[in-house]
Amino acid sequence: MNSVIIVAAGKGKRMNKDINKQYIKLLDKEIIYYTISAFDKNENIDEIIVVISENEKDYFYENILNKYNFTKSIKVVFGGKERQDSVLSGIKALDKMCKIVLIHDGARPFIDNNIIDSVIRETKEHKAVVVGVPVKDTIKVIDEKNYIKTTPERKFLWAVQTPQAFDVDILKESYKKAYKDNYYGTDDSMIVERCSYKVKMILGSYENIKITTEEDLYIGEEILKRRR
């Protein structure tokens, strides 16, 4: 059984909007609609869990869950203070039959079937998989005063995306250790890596962007127009 946890509890402060960025519309539908819909239509996804802010429960049900005709049953759970806490809420809600769990950003609406299928296929073999793309720009590492310290070799640098997918037992073990050690990572692969598991990077898509700033909205609309 393959499950996906869609994390949509963040506030998106960099967007400078009055509402959670997940509910901003791209063309005629909300960002979170496109994200859920991608997994709802994928035949290899058996379970969808959406993590939202508890104070947005009524808004989510009225404007998303009850508005659109998703074909799969969708579990709704509430997020915590940090992203990691929100993912943990999703993990606790997983079906007992789940073998592979994907974790995906709610504000990353352009995920497609090819990536979802590749992630599941690769996770069956490697147990822990991350989607990403090679960086196009030269990256600089700076010090506290903004002086350049070093320039990493670009061919080894990838920008990480989601979904990130894991054998469910590995993910649960890694999360248990993280909380025992009071450790918070910025993504799920960090939590798994620190338990000495190897994580495989696979190619995603440069269209698989995360909607973070207002400029991303314009890019997102162009992606949707092209796909239509």
Give me the pLDDT at residue 11, please: 67
Give me the pLDDT at residue 20, please: 82
Could you identify the residue written with the tokens 């010090």? 143
Q: ∠ at Cα 168 (178, 38), nearest 5°?
A: 110
Closest alpha carbon to 119 in 61, 26, 18, 188: 188
Does the CA dihedral 75-33-164-77 come out positive or negative?
negative
Summarised one tens digit per residue, pLDDT across range 86-124 is: 999 999 999 999 999 999 999 999 999 999 999 999 999
CA distance 192 to 52: 23
Which residue range(s) make up the domain with 47? 2-227
Please determine, for residue 42, whether its predicted confidence score (pLDDT) is greater than 80. yes
**Total domain count for the chain?**
1
Residue % of the chain over a pLDDT of 70: 96
Which CATH number belongs to the domain containing residue 190 in this structure?
A: 3.90.550.10
3-state secondary structure 3-54: EEEEEECCCCHHHCCCCCHHHCEECCEEHHHHHHHHHHCCCCCCEEEEEECH
**CB count, 10 Å around CB of 43?**
8
CA distance 163 to 156: 20
> 19: pLDDT confidence band, cut at 50, 70 and 90?
confident
Please determine, for residue 223, whether its predicted confidence score (pLDDT) is greater than 80. yes
> 17: pLDDT confidence band, cut at 50, 70 and 90?
low
Rounded to two decimals, the pTM is: 0.94
Chain mean pLDDT for the chain: 94
Give me the pLDDT at residue 49, please: 98
What letter does residue 138 receive in the DSSP assignment? -
Please give the biggest Cα pair distance in the chain: 53
Residue % of the chain over a pLDDT of 90: 92
